[in-house]
Amino acid sequence: MLLRNMKKKIKTPSLILALVPILFLILFLALNVIFFKDDTLSGSNQIILLLAASVASIISIRLNHSWEHILQSMVASIGKAMPSILILLIIGSLAGTWLISGVVPALIYYGLKIIHPSVFLFTAIIVSGLVSLVTGSSWSTIATIGVALLGIGRALGIHDGLVAGAIISGAYFGDKMSPLSDTTNLAPAVAGTDLFTHVRYMILTTGPSIIIAMIIYIIIGFTYNFDTVQTDINSVLANIEGSFNINPLLFLVPVILIVIIVLKIPPLPSLLFSTLLAGVFAVIFQPQIIRNLAVGDFNYITASYISIMKAMFGEVSISTTDKVVNELFTTGGMAGMLNTVWLILSAMVFGGAMEAGGLLKRITRSIIKMAHSTGSLIASTAGTCVFFNLTASDQYISIVVPGKMFAKTYRERGLKPEVLSRTLEDAGTLTSVLIPWNTCGATQSRVLGVSTLTYLPYCFFNLINPIVAIIIAYLNIKIRRYKEGELVEEAVPEHSHSKH
């Protein structure tokens, strides 16, 4: 009886064993890109993530972890992603009602009239950055203003990857620096510093990075070939005018959304409200769209209900004589997000399996051992954040776990907590959108309709910022350290307030 109740001793995995599921994942995801090209999100990546989770689970069982423990870890991992999944589904509905209401067409219409092609990319990063800074949400910014900017970029004949890169760069700059952003609040909380110390200290790495990115977009804009653009623009404008009632009052929908987010209404109810408000505007301003979508001899109230529901849950396409416009005015609604939801669920299962067996912990422990100087410590922290974005597939995990792992090491080396919190944002927040199966990468790819690998090379801010952070660390530029006796004074109150 005693022997039956005794639990088997849990074994610690070797580094090579812990890396096996990662290597499996990388190998087969690469094969998916070769064989499926841009269609990897339709199922092949999801299957590989689940198979990689199976490999991690087999290794965990060999290390004497129970299947029940592994399953609980997977379920807990999925639970962490549920808020993101719910927002993603609402964004699908929002895209539908913002289209049929004429909000997105109006943004594209006036944007094409106002913005000169040569400064469009620069304008895109500025506008996305300002909206995200005000709202504190890169997701909301990309799903609303970003979609409209992408439409303008397509009408101008600019490469989708370039346009998406500029939008994402701006949106993630604003998200990173906004006091309203969840990640901007999360990073200092994990590291042990206050919000505004964290935001001010980020300027040193974020400022040069965003300036370099903007200069690159300006150079590209002034060297891009726009020879055939004017004819295309006139065709797009004519088709928008012929299909929608373009009215400045439609701008009330995005303005109201920004206002309610600034008032700190949570993203989910904010986006749902904007979705429904756009539905009301569709009924008021776009009666011809409503009747066409209803497809039947219904009275206007019934037709309105049918059309709004269709826009929220399914695919909607507004047909014109211009192929470019037809591509701009097609959305998949909530159903169009289901492949992305499937991808996120699969990624979280993989992350949960890796965590259950202690495989992630074993890999990160090896990374910490290699960090000897301040520069290498910050580089290791950044690398760990990227590693968790790749494996745990969640932006928040890439901030929280490395933050907890490195906090003691930073303190022991006399580094102030804002050095850690800044690094968590420089690498964890910004690289999440560059991973195809990460919640952020999968979402933004689906929302914009541009594959992650297509926009990745052009997200200059997201790529430059982690590099700038590491360079500044190695050059020892304004790395904040405790003065003699200061560490003890600050450590005491922190310990005395602990509830554990």
Instruction: Give domain status of residue 229, yes or no.
Output: yes
Check whether residue 260 and residue 381 sit in a common domain: no
**Which residue is listed with tokens 């101008």?**
156
Beta bridge partners of 437: none
Q: Is 296 exposed, middle or buried (0-12, 13-18, 19+ CB in 10 A)?
A: exposed
Check whether residue 351 and residue 324 sit in a common domain: no
Check whether residue 472 and residue 482 sit in a common domain: yes
Q: Which of 26, 29, 48 has the alpha carbon at shortest distance from 342?
A: 48
Check whether residue 286 and residue 424 sit in a common domain: no
Residue ending a domain, among 336, 371, 397, is 336
- Contact in structure between 139 and 91 (CB atoms under 8 Å): yes
Q: How many C-beta atoms lie closer than 10 Å to residue 207's C-beta?
A: 12
How far apart (Å, rounded) are the C-alpha atoms in residues 85 and 424?
A: 23
- Number of domain units in the chain: 2
Instruction: Give domain status of residue 426, yes or no.
Output: yes
Instruction: Give domain status of residue 201, yes or no.
Output: yes
Along the 500 residues of the chain, how does pLDDT read in single tens digits?
444 444 678 999 999 999 999 899 889 988 887 898 777 778 898 999 999 999 999 999 999 999 999 999 999 989 988 888 898 899 999 999 999 999 999 999 998 888 888 999 999 999 999 999 988 889 999 999 999 999 999 888 899 999 999 999 999 999 999 988 889 999 999 898 999 999 999 999 999 999 999 999 999 999 987 665 555 678 888 889 999 999 999 999 999 998 998 888 888 899 999 999 999 999 999 999 999 999 888 999 999 999 999 999 999 999 887 777 787 788 899 999 898 899 889 988 998 999 899 998 898 888 888 888 999 999 999 999 999 899 888 888 899 889 888 888 899 899 999 999 999 999 999 999 999 999 899 999 999 999 999 999 999 999 999 999 999 999 999 999 998 766 644 443 343 333 33
Check whether residue 243 and residue 187 sit in a common domain: yes
Task: Please count the CA atoms within 13 angstroms of the CA of 213 that sit on its side-chain side.
Answer: 35
Task: Give the DSSP letter of residue 415.
Answer: B
Instruction: Give domain status of residue 204, yes or no.
Output: yes
Check whether residue 313 and residue 344 sit in a common domain: no
Query: Strand, helix or coil at 481?
Result: strand
Instruction: Give domain status of residue 36, yes or no.
Output: no
Instruction: Give domain status of residue 438, yes or no.
Output: yes
Check whether residue 74 and residue 94 sit in a common domain: no
Residue ending a domain, among 307, 336, 365, is 336
Q: Is 305 exposed, middle or buried (0-12, 13-18, 19+ CB in 10 A)?
A: middle
Check whether residue 435 and residue 407 sit in a common domain: yes
Check whether residue 328 and residue 415 sit in a common domain: no
Question: Which residue range is the domain that position 210 belongs to?
Answer: 83-336
Check whether residue 445 and residue 471 sit in a common domain: yes
- Contact in structure between 153 and 128 (CB atoms under 8 Å): no
Q: Which of 338, 452, 311, 440 has the alpha carbon at shortest distance from 42?
A: 338
**Which residue is listed with tokens 């005693």?**
2
Check whether residue 107 and residue 74 sit in a common domain: no
* Residue 458: partners with Cβ closer than 8 Å, 6 or more residues away: 159, 161, 162, 164, 165, 166
Instruction: Give domain status of residue 33, yes or no.
Output: no
Residue ending a domain, among 297, 320, 336, is 336
Check whether residue 449 and residue 306 sit in a common domain: no
Q: Which of 138, 53, 45, 131 has the alpha carbon at shortest distance from 87?
A: 138
Instruction: Give domain status of residue 446, yes or no.
Output: yes
Long-range contacts of 6-11 (CB under 8 A, 24+ apart): 8/64, 9/64, 10/63, 10/64, 10/65, 10/358, 11/62, 11/63, 11/64
For residue 207 the two structure tokens come to 């400022």
Q: Which of 243, 280, 265, 304 has the alpha carbon at shortest distance from 98?
A: 280
For residue 223 the two structure tokens come to 């060297």
